Amino acid sequence: MKRTKITWSLSISLAILMLVLACKSEPSTTSSPVPALEEELADGKFPYQRLSTYGFFAGELKELTPVDEVIPYQPASSLFTDYALKSRFVFFPAGEKAILASNELDFPEGTVLIKNFYYPVDFSKPEQDRRIIETRLLINSETGWEAFPYIWNDSQTEAILKVVGGEIQVDFIDHEGKDQVINYLVPNKNQCKTCHNKNESLAPIGVKVQHLNNELEFKSGKSNQLAHWAELGKLEGFEGAAAHPSMINYEDKNLPLDDRAMAYLDINCSHCHSAEGPASTSGLFLTYDQTDPRKLGVNKIPVAAGNGAGTFDFDIVPGKADESILTHRMNSTEVGIAMPELGRTTVHKEGVQLIKDWINSMQ
């Protein structure tokens, strides 16, 4: 059940957060936090028009250096978004914590999930020059989770709220040394629910227990992410890593093919293709723990694929990836065929190859 905050409303909580962080953090080079705060709180409501107003990051905004109250996190596997790299953070309101029960995370009102999408100028040097394209905030309000997209300016000094989304041309050099150009699409506020949909309510994707039950490097050293939250007093109910499900990184080619394929399908597809997702009527359930071959699509006729099925009959034909609807849709960018429907304008070549290898390995 959704828990409500006992004391302040979300808007007041964010206002106090800004005042506290403005005192503790280095001043932003983009603007003075206090005048901006007064302007944005004129109506007493969120969201703020500028990302810097929240005070999540210290120093130059483009460095994305979190203040102490903002905790980095990283799911075991990352959802594909046109090869964009991502940095992720979570903010918990003071005195509040998430509750872990039945391997489900329930976040307190006022929680903010912060996800930044960026491209290195050269993917062979990912830690050098980069361009941040957008920052998406998921804010747990009185009425549930709400999504807000912020688009960064060319000078990388600020990100501005754009509820209508946008299209941005991105140039970079890929891992093979080739020049690439992508028309990157920032979803509008309403489109976010297309993927972030659980029982017809907007919900996070990457902060599920199975995604976070693994180690990450923090300032204090390497630690299990859920254990780290518990140590900070931000999580109740964690019983140790072995007591909860965990997923692997599908990019690790040293791990079993079946596990990698299921990790890929879970993070990229299961938010729709699950019993609680908008594609529940398809009968195709692609969660990491699915063991029923039929529900995975093996020799299964699609319910309503339409043109998306192409000339093929089954979602998965064992041993024949090139005759399977699943890989046919993954390998397309055409509207009505491409899956996922949103979140990419290019084909994830490595992901398609992984699922092809998996299907071809089936007997």
Specify whether 159 is located in the same domain as 262.
Answer: no
pTM for the whole thing? 0.84
Q: Is residue 3 part of a domain?
A: no
Specify whether 205 is located in the same domain as 100.
Answer: yes
Q: Is residue 70 part of a domain?
A: yes
14 CB-near residues (< 8 Å, 6+ apart): 46, 48, 54, 110
Specify whether 66 is located in the same domain as 213.
Answer: yes
Specify whether 232 is located in the same domain as 292.
Answer: no
pLDDT reported for residue 305: 63
Specify whether 49 is located in the same domain as 138.
Answer: yes
Q: pLDDT digit string (tens) for 226-279?
A: 999 999 999 999 999 999 999 999 999 999 999 999 999 999 999 888 888 888
Specify whether 230 is located in the same domain as 274.
Answer: no
Q: Is residue 233 part of a domain?
A: yes
Q: Is residue 4 part of a domain?
A: no
Specify whether 185 is located in the same domain as 272.
Answer: no
Q: CA nearest 157: which of 192, 186, 193, 132?
A: 132
| DSSP secondary structure of 107-136 | PPTT-EEEEEEEEESBTTSTTSSEEEEEEE
Beta bridge partners of 215: 224
pLDDT, mean of residues 352-358 = 98
**Domain closes at, from 209, 243, 277:** 243
Specify whether 275 is located in the same domain as 232.
Answer: no
Q: Is residue 2 part of a domain?
A: no
Q: Is residue 134 part of a domain?
A: yes
Specify whether 299 is located in the same domain as 237.
Answer: no
pLDDT reported for residue 274: 85
Structural domain boundaries, residue 313: 257-360
More confident of the two residues 196 and 21: 196
Can you tell me the distance from the alpha carbon of 287 to that of 267, in angstroms, rounded to the nearest whole number?
A: 8
pLDDT, mean of residues 290-302 = 94
**Domain closes at, from 217, 243, 269:** 243
Q: CA nearest 153: which of 54, 22, 30, 53?
A: 30
Specify whether 232 is located in the same domain as 321.
Answer: no
Q: What is the domain count for the chain?
A: 2
Specify whether 78 is located in the same domain as 192.
Answer: yes
Compute the mean pLDDT over every residue in the chain, rounded to the nearest whole number. 85
Q: Is residue 345 part of a domain?
A: yes
pLDDT for residue 345 is more than 50: yes
**Domain closes at, from 213, 243, 273:** 243
Specify whether 15 is located in the same domain as 101.
Answer: yes
Q: Is residue 340 part of a domain?
A: yes
Query: Can you list the pairs that 275-278 forms with residues at least 24 positions away whose Cβ atoms lie under 8 Å?
Result: 276/198, 276/199, 277/197, 277/198, 278/194, 278/197, 278/200
